[in-house]
Chain A
Amino acid sequence: MDDRTVIRRIAMSARGFTLLETLVAVSILSLALAGILSLSAIGIHSSSNSANQIKAFFLASEAVEYVRNKRDNNILAGSGWLSGLSGCEAGCSIDAFNDTISVCAGVCPKIKFNSATNLYGYTSGTDSIFTRKLTITQSVAYEIKLSSEISWQQGGISRNFVLEERLFDLSF
């Protein structure tokens, strides 16, 4: 074995990584890290989504309770059981605090949140993310279907859900 062969053999065995090997190793490592990071990002996103869903649910049920109360008051006052609710077939917005119903022209306005009184309404405060639309569908004279729809935007994705309730004319 001459000196040259020895040198070549040592050079072969002490070879470093090729560029391809390095690239593969680095990309596997960064994929693993990206997986962990995106998992936690999903967690943060869905926790704030669940907060919005809870708020939206209570706001949706507020509109349904408001109309139920309106019906009860109409019957107590002896007026038509749906008086004051006309125009809601196309959708209307309900301000439970100020006791007002307004028909939405096309799109319902966003609910405002007043941080001084901690009240959701339409008269004061800054726009919240929620839009509430109450639709009344009447198929027979003594029954209406209420649909309270809440929609909001979160992270560029629009979300919504509908709470449905049926009310009857108790004076029928």
Chain B
Amino acid sequence: MFKKGFTMLEMIVAIGVFSIAVLLAVSSFLSLQSAEKKIQSLVNVQNNLRFAMEIMAKEIRTGELYHCGADSGVQPLDCPSGGPSLTFKNTAGQTTIYKKINSSIQKSSNGGIVFQPLTSSDITVDDLKFYVIGAPSNENLQPKVLIALKASGRIGASVSEFNLQTSVSQRKPAP
């Protein structure tokens, strides 16, 4: 008589309360996990784009003879309305090309014979455009390049988009 045990009702109530608590805990940890994945893809895109932008800005700033357009010519050429590829001569005298190939930014240091990716395959570069003004020497302007970049990263169902823009002015005095 003294050790009565639980009644059926008490058991049902206890299990019900417990399962609600467990449900809350599990769902909050699941949402934490998806947020963590989102952060991971965002950080990945950030790192890749910052690296690519930094490299391009530094090399273009110290380079000369910019040719902007769809082709990879070496004659200085402006593109005030934007071009997908930029060819120029870097400080080492190499004919350098930056362009988007198959959703990554790629660089060639030998005039387009070999291209190497600057961004990882985890991220998708959606758009890369160069806007060049003052490249031909007869314009009597200091060349200026505007770089616009858009990329997205995807881990699972979470997509992170990232837009960067900067301008660089040629350091070498115009001839």
Q: Which residues of B contact A54 (CB under 8 A)?
A: 46, 49-50, 164
Q: Which residues of B contact A55 (CB under 8 A)?
A: 162-164
B101 at the A interface (CB under 8 A): no
Q: Would you give the shortest CB distance from B142 to chain A, in whole angstroms?
A: 4
B46:A69 contact, CB within 8 angstroms: no
B146:A73 contact, CB within 8 angstroms: no
Q: Which residues of A contact B32 (CB under 8 A)?
A: 36-37, 40
Q: Which 3 A-B pairs have the closest CB atoms?
A: A72-B142, A69-B169, A58-B166
Assuming the contacts A54-B50, A72-B142, A73-B142, asked whether A65 and B43 have C-beta atoms less than 8 A apart, the reply is: no
Interface residues in A42-98 (C-beta closer than 8 Å to B)? 43-44, 47-48, 50-51, 54-55, 58-59, 61-62, 65-66, 68-69, 72-73, 76-77, 96-97
Q: Which residues of A contact B107 (CB under 8 A)?
A: none
Q: Identify 6 residue pairs between A and B in the complex whose beta-carbon atoms are under 8 Å apart, listed by A's number.
A: A36-B32, A58-B165, A65-B144, A72-B142, A97-B146, A118-B148
Tell me the bound Cα distance from A61 to B50 in angstroms: 13
A44:B164 contact, CB within 8 angstroms: no
B35:A44 contact, CB within 8 angstroms: yes
Q: Which residues of A contact B164 (CB under 8 A)?
A: 54-55, 58
